[in-house]
Amino acid sequence: MNQLNALKQFTTVVADTGDFKQIAAFAPHDATTNPSLILKAVQKPDYAPLLAQTVAAHRGQPLDVVMDHLLVRFGCEILSLIPGRVSTEVDARLSFDTAATVARALRLIELYRAQGVDSSRVLIKIAATWEGIQAAAELERQGIHTNLTLLFAFCQAVACGQAKVQLISPFVGRIYDWYKKSAGAAWDEAAHAGVNDPGVKSVRHIYNHYKKFGIATEVMGASFRNVGQIVGLAGCDLLTIAPELLAQLAASDIPLTPTLSAEAAQALDLPPVQYNEASFRYALNDDAMATEKLAEGIRAFCVDAVKLEQLMLAA
């Protein structure tokens, strides 16, 4: 059995791509997208017509409306290839506006419904700012399920659990990147591999906390740089993986066993933790890595959203 099939025995495998023509080969259960992945896809010849068709069908409408139609078009194509859910992201420029995030999410859901897609198959991706988490809490109360992304800090995960969001996407690779860059020449790659990877350790901490205290929010490790990080989180609820790493897993027959389990987490001696707005903001501010990577991630998604709008204007 290859590693991909072995992983599927105890973790839900999710494809992290806008290039939906790559998805079928790996038979993932769910799929995730983001503005950067959609931008990357529409610049390929295979997807350029999809962009042109969407713009032509909604010409004259506000750019943000056309953007949402494009995101939903990609989401529908992806849903035709998988049995589970697709994650579609709210514009990152709304990351600090709770009401606008809720409104944009509801519009995305209505666009999906207009295409015959039940809302149970859609996760609305929202940046895990305080405002984003509050928007997700409101959406969950309305029966709209959410995926909180750009999650780097334990306080973000705790607040998401308190808000009863459906799923979180802690970013493994970007945490790893920060610590490696910070260490510079002193970085020891072998000493920080697998379960010792700082990104892997962060997700394990969150997973164990959730399972210890019966928090129903699903944990989906994201943003992987290498197969070792994926193997280090085998047993996590879900893992969203880029096609290149899915291919590496499919090509390997090295034995793979779970490193995480709910039963093991429940046996741990862990303190209960809760945050209000003030303590959340302080904890996030106190974590230099999370503060920097959250801001950087929002900025990058905003830049790519603008680039996508420019392509739509030119179409």
Is residue 35 over pLDDT 90?
Answer: no
Q: Give the CA distances from residue 130 to residues 166, 237, 278, 294, in Å, rounded to whole numbers and listed in that order.
A: 16, 24, 10, 12
If pLDDT is split at 50, 70 and 90, which confidence band does 95 have? very high
Mean pLDDT of the chain: 97
Instruction: Identify whether 125 is a catalytic site residue.
Output: yes
Tokens of 145: 């399920």
Determine the pLDDT at residue 237: 98
For 179-212, the pLDDT digits (tens) are: 999 999 999 999 999 999 999 999 999 999 999 9
124: pLDDT strictly greater than 90: yes
Sign of CA dihedral 265, 268, 274, 278: negative
> Active-site residue among 125, 211, 212, 293?
125
pLDDT, mean of residues 159-171: 98
DSSP string, 238-280: EEEE-HHHHHHHHT-------S--HHHHHTS--------HHHH
Judge whether residue 273 has pLDDT over 90.
Answer: yes
